[in-house]
């Protein structure tokens, strides 16, 4: 998933591996990527970055929980 902008592009990737057995739960891998196109992209992301590091794991955890209940 992601979005492109004239200042930056971002991507979020979520990988859920199959559950092997009860003692080995599902592996979850979450990756984010940001590609800056210019200074404005870096300027925009500078104040966002600290919140991104705090908020993204919590947001992704909620998404995974929703996917697993479906």
SS3 call for 4: strand
Q: Say how many residues make up the chain.
A: 70
pLDDT on residue 36:
95
pLDDT for the residue 3: 92
DSSP SS3 for 34 = strand
pLDDT of residue 27: 78
DSSP 7-29: SEEEEEEEEEPPP-BTTBPPPEE
Per-residue pLDDT of the chain (70 residues; tens, 9 = 90+): 899 999 999 998 888 888 777 777 777 788 888 999 999 999 988 998 888 888 878 887 787 788 778 7
State residue 28's pLDDT score: 77
If we measure between CA atoms, which residue out of 13, 2, 12, 7 comes closest to residue 45? 7
């Amino acid at each position: 998933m992601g979005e492109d902008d004239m200042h930056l592009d971002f991507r979020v990737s979520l990988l859920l591996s199959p559950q092997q057995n009860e003692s080995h739960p599902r592996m979850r891998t979450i990756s984010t990527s940001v590609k800056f196109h210019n200074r404005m992209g870096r300027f925009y992301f500078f104040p966002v970055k600290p919140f991104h590091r705090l908020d993204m794991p919590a947001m992704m955890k909620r998404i995974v929980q929703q996917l697993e209940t479906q």
